[in-house]
């Protein structure tokens, strides 16, 4: 039984009625979190911020799970589980989405060649970048640069959002 479950079981067995002062009011049973939110729900906020900032600062590099987990002094497996609980995405998927967001901003703002943008956000080849960009956004980088629209799977056309359409990364 995990530590959190043991605390919940212990909380159920504790008698919660108590008297307050002279008027004998009894305390109501309120939901109580026995462990701080940062420990039960995922990475503590300060560690999550450290990792996400590191990812943002190093998008152009190859980032490995072991490297990210070392930042927060955790095993890679434990880090990956807590990171996914905190962000809703695995570390790899989170990294790919950040790269695509950065690439979309560069495509919209600068007339750089797509291959150069791909390398600047950490993709080794323009073809891998194009494939990943299409999978995440629903359109190619060239179409995005032209201000194209995309059809969400089964829905009508919508303006392109760097992350909004495809959820796979």
Average pLDDT of the segment spanning 18-41: 40
pLDDT tens by residue, 65-86 = 999 999 999 999 999 999 999 9
Q: What's the confidence (pLDDT) of residue 149?
A: 53
Q: What's the confidence (pLDDT) of residue 32?
A: 31
Average pLDDT of the segment spanning 117-122: 95
Q: What's the confidence (pLDDT) of residue 41?
A: 75
Question: Shortest CA distance to 126 belongs to which of 111, 116, 134, 136?
Answer: 116
Query: Is residue 12 predicted with pLDDT exceeding 90?
Result: no
Question: Shortest CA distance to 101 belongs to which of 15, 33, 164, 28?
Answer: 164
Q: What's the confidence (pLDDT) of residue 40?
A: 56
Stretch (H or E) spanning 36: none
């Amino acid at each position: 039984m995990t530590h959190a479950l043991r605390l919940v079981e212990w909380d159920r067995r504790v008698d919660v009625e108590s008297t307050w002062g002279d008027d004998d009011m009894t305390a109501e049973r309120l939901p109580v979190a026995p462990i701080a939110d940062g420990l039960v729900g995922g990475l503590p906020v300060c560690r999550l911020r450290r990792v996400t900032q590191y990812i943002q600062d190093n998008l152009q590099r190859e980032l490995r799970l072991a490297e990210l987990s070392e930042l927060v002094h955790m095993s890679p497996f434990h880090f990956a589980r807590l990171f996914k609980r905190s962000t809703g995405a695995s570390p790899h998927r989170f990294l790919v989405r950040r790269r695509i967001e950065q690439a979309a901003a560069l495509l919209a703002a600068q007339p750089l060649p797509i291959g150069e943008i791909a390398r600047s956000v950490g993709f080794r080849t323009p073809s891998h970048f194009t494939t990943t960009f299409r999978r995440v956004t629903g359109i190619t980088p060239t179409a995005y640069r032209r201000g194209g629209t995309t059809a969400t799977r089964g829905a009508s056309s919508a303006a392109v959002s760097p992350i909004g359409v495809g959820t796979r990364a």
